[in-house]
Amino acid sequence: MAEEKIGEVVKYFSKPGVAAIKVMDDELKIGDVIKFVGYTTDFEETIDSMEMDNSKVDKAPAGSMVGIKVKDRVRAGDEIFKVT
């Protein structure tokens, strides 16, 4: 499976288990499979829900900030790759 860098984690909120990410290239959509990679991070996640400005969205274009529910802890600076 090919991986293409699409963004990075800006902040992680532990109580709701949400990663705030900056989408740098391409776009993210509900159902996309993404991979988080960092110093101690390495797992894949299917996007089930996304929020921008406290509103649910189906896709996030390049240049946007979005919150994604994640199953494991991520850290600021972790890279995000879209798995195709």
Instruction: Provide the residue range defining the domain that includes 74.
Output: 3-83
Instruction: Give mean pLDDT, residues 43-67.
Output: 94
At residue 2, the pLDDT reads 84
At residue 84, the pLDDT reads 86
Query: Taking 90 as the threshold, does the pLDDT of residue 79 lie above it?
Result: yes
Residue 21 or residue 84, greater confidence: 21
Query: Taking 80 as the threshold, does the pLDDT of residue 1 lie above it?
Result: no
Task: Tell me the CATH number at 34.
Answer: 2.40.30.10
**Residue/partner pairs of 54-61 with CB below 8 Å, 24 or more apart:** 58/29, 58/30, 59/27, 59/28, 59/29, 59/30, 60/23, 60/27, 60/28, 60/29, 61/23, 61/27
Mean pLDDT of the chain: 94
Distance, in Å, from the CA atom of 15 to the CA atom of 73, rounded to the nearest integer, reads 11
Domain count, the chain: 1
Tens-place pLDDT, residues 24-47:
988 999 999 999 999 999 999 999
